[in-house]
Chain A
Amino acid sequence: MTVTEVRKHAVGDEGGMGYLQSVPRRVVTIYLPLLIFVIVLLFPFYWMAITAVKPNEQMTNFNDYSPFWVVSPTLEHIKYLLFQTSYPGWLLNTVIISTAATFLSLLASVFAAYAIERLRFSGSRQVGLGIFLAYLVPPSILFIPLSLMVFNLGLYDTSFALILTYPTFLVPFCTWLLMGYFRSIPFELEECALIDGASRWQILTKIILPLSVPGLISAGIFAFTLSWNEFIYALTFIQSSENKTVPVGVLTELVRSDVYEWGALMAGALIGSLPVVILYSFFVEHYVSSMTGAVKE
């Protein structure tokens, strides 16, 4: 690299040492691989979307129609899905279960995180570690004993089975995340409030919670997404069609005979993904911070 080249790129560049690389080199080493990554990561969604609006005869006829595009898109699959299957009911179930499980978990987690991080009762560090270990217990080893419990409690095939079991992975996650948030709030604020005669309850609701709204949003939307995506508990604890959640319903009810209705399946997958994707698009930063926040400790 010549001196003039370096000087040319150095002007007005704030990207650290990025100016040391020439443009053609950046294209090959950065933009091209990045483009391939993005295409591969997004292709399944494109394929999902395009199949959902493709008329059946185009779907399997690759000779007369380009498979990558759709001529005269149809809403037939989506109509079928919304009016001739229990899909709207599954959506409603998923919304109710995810919302309830998220609120339950957040409520429990706020108190637990505050107690561990700020009340500092004896043994709070051990409890904190225990919460972290609980996060590492995977649903795959819990679903069999839980199914027995759910059955014996009379919760089998009800939404409560899921609302009460989802907190097993939501509470550890939310508590861990909120502990990190509470830790970043200065002790002095609490001390001032204590001097002014505030009770612990007032401190929590009037000082700590307003200050940790970003943390609560992060934990909340993350928990909502995790419950929305949950599969193994919903598959095991729910039997009747009208009580199923979207992931289970799409897989077990829309796949029937040997003839797969790919259009309806893809429409189901697409519509089932949309709520979390929309939520995600509004709160990208919160997602990233909660994802990395859980790992950074």
Chain B
Amino acid sequence: MATETVTAPRSSLLSRMAESRGFLSFGFMLPAAALLLVFLTYPLGLGVWLGFTDTRVGRPGIFIGLENYEYLWDDSIFWLSVFNTLLYTVTASILKFMLGLWLALLLNENLPFKSFFRAVVLLPWVVPTVLSAIAFWWIYDSQFSIISWALIELGIIDHRINFLGDPTNARASVIAANVWRGIPFVAITLLAGLQTIPQSLYEAATLDGAGKWQLFRYVTLPLLTPIIAITMTFSVLFTFTDFQLIYVLTRGGPVNATHLMATLSFQRGISGGQLGEGAAIAVAMIPFLLAAILFSYFGLQRRKWQQGGGD
């Protein structure tokens, strides 16, 4: 991140600009800073404040302290949504990681039409989530699901699967759709990481008698750890705050079995008009997000030896 190269000659040259540099920087930073401060930082603070008020749509609220949070603390649906969110995030992230890493390893082989495969694999990630989720909605249709039909034709099951009507099935279905959409991101970023590992390391390890598994375990994995950490942090953050897939497929049903914190926040805050309570649910997501970021930052950050330095 830090580039402290060629500071000495540059600063002497730039010294002439020094008196205007502060002003220039201010001017250059202004558009981005204004946009972010007004539409990101301020709403973030406003959201926290709203969580302490009883604001509704069309009616400014008053400060009510922790009442929203006390209410949520005793609300079983809220806790169910927390449980669902954690289940959804953990299961989907593990599956995305394993399948994505596998796909990345496959794509890293010496294949014909390699760039074609790579382009095709990324498609689910490029297409708008809502639109591909609508396709999944049709695939998961209770009566005309193509999966049910195919499995019945193959003689594996004897009646249609109720994909989105049964709590367990619905959870599995939304997780499957999320994994489908998330695999390409994980695979392509990990592939980029794999391509930076020098072939000579594998050759040297092979000469030392390492088998396939050992090559993976002692060469690939350690060198890939930093990029895995960042990729999975992003993946976990996006999965945890997912909204679109659930909103399209189940809207939180059946009986709240697939409600995530984001969808519950939307349902209470926008559809139900209880902006304060919705904001409180959204704020309740922040500690989880911070925990994920800090975990990846401190637990999985780059080690010196991975960049060629000493231990």
Residues of A within 8 A of B (CB): 14-18, 26, 30, 33-34, 37-38, 40-42, 44-45, 47-48, 51, 59-60, 62, 67-68, 104-105, 107-109, 111-112, 114-116, 119, 121, 124-125, 127-128, 131, 134, 136-149, 164-165, 167-168, 171-172, 175, 183, 187, 191, 194-195, 200, 225, 228-229, 231-232, 235-236, 246-248, 250-251, 262, 265-266, 268-270, 272-273, 276-277, 280-281, 284, 287-288, 291-292, 295-297
Residues of chain B within 8 A of A140, CB atoms compared? 241-243, 261-262, 265, 282, 285
Contacts of B240 in A (CB 8 A): 138
Chain A residues with CB under 8 A of B119: 280-281, 284
Q: Which residues of A contact B28 (CB under 8 A)?
A: 111-112, 114-115, 119
18 contacts between A and B (CB under 8 A): A17-B202, A37-B106, A42-B123, A44-B132, A44-B136, A45-B132, A48-B131, A108-B35, A127-B29, A144-B50, A145-B43, A145-B46, A146-B43, A167-B36, A229-B130, A231-B243, A247-B131, A272-B131
B202 touches A16 (CB 8 A): yes
Cβ-based interface call for B47 (8 A): yes
A171 touches B36 (CB 8 A): yes
- Residue contact B138 to A47, C-beta cutoff 8 Å: yes
> Interface-forming stretch among B62-70, B72-80, B182-190, B303-311?
B182-190
Q: Which residue of A is nearest B244, CB measured?
A: A231
Task: Check if B184 sits within 8 Å of A41, measured CB to CB.
Answer: yes
Report B267-283 CB contacts with A as 1/0, cut-off 8 Å. Answer: 00110000100110011
Closest chain A residue to B33, Cβ basis: A112
Q: Are B17 and A144 in contact (CB under 8 A)?
A: no
Q: In the bound complex, how far is the Cα of B35 from the Cα of A167, in angstroms?
A: 7
Give Cα distance in the complex from A213 to B46, angstroms: 38
| Beyond A37-B183, A141-B282, A250-B130, 6 extra complex contacts between A and B, CB < 8 Å | A108-B32, A121-B29, A136-B289, A144-B50, A168-B40, A187-B5
The answer to whether the Cβ of B86 comes within 8 Å of any Cβ in the partner chain is no
Give A115 to B124 CA distance when docked, in angstroms: 36
Contacts of A292 in B (CB 8 A): 188-189, 192
Q: A33-B106, A250-B134 are in contact. Are A228 and B146 (CB under 8 A)?
A: no
Distance of A143 Cα from B43 Cα, bound (Å): 8
Considering only residues 103-122 of chain B, those with a C-beta below 8 Å from chain A are 103, 106-107, 109-111, 115, 117-122
Are A232's CB and B243's CB within 8 A? yes
Whether A141 contacts B47 in the complex (CB less than 8 A), given A119-B21, A231-B244, comes out as yes
Which of A104, A137, A149, A268 counts the most chain B CB atoms within 10 A?
Answer: A137
Q: Report which residue of A37, A68, A273 has the largest number of chain B beta carbons within 10 angstroms of its beta carbon.
A: A37
State the 9 A-B residue pairs at the shortest beta-carbon distance, nearest first. A15-B110, A121-B25, A112-B32, A115-B28, A138-B241, A292-B192, A247-B130, A108-B31, A145-B46
Which B residues are closer than 8 A to A by beta carbons? Answer: 1-3, 5-6, 9-10, 13-14, 16-17, 21-22, 24-33, 35-36, 39-44, 46-47, 50, 55, 99, 102-103, 106-107, 109-111, 115, 117-124, 126-132, 134-136, 138-139, 141, 143-144, 146, 149, 180, 183-185, 188-189, 192, 199, 202-203, 206, 227, 230-231, 234, 237-238, 240-244, 247-248, 261-262, 265-266, 269-270, 275, 278-279, 282-283, 285-286, 289, 293
Q: Which of A15, A40, A45, A281 contacts B127 (CB 8 A)?
A: A45
**Interface contact B189-A291, CB-CB below 8 Å:** yes
Q: Is the beta-carbon distance between B123 and A277 smaller than 8 angstroms?
A: yes
Q: Which residues of A contact B248 (CB under 8 A)?
A: 251
Residues of B within 8 A of A104 (CB): 35
A44-B40 contact given A125-B2, A148-B50, CB 8 Å threshold: no
With A and B bound together, what is the CA distance between A295 and B185 in angstroms? 11
Of B1, B25, B102, B131, most buried by chain A (CB within 10 Å of CB) is: B131
Q: How far is the CA of A175 from the CA of B9 in the complex (A)?
A: 26
A191 contact set on B, CB distance < 8 A: 9-10, 13
Give the distance to chain A from B209, nearest Cβ to Cβ, in Å. 14
> In the complex, A84 Cα to B160 Cα: how many Å?
34
Residues of A within 8 A of B24 (CB): 115, 119, 200
Q: Is the CB of B206 within 8 A of A273?
A: no
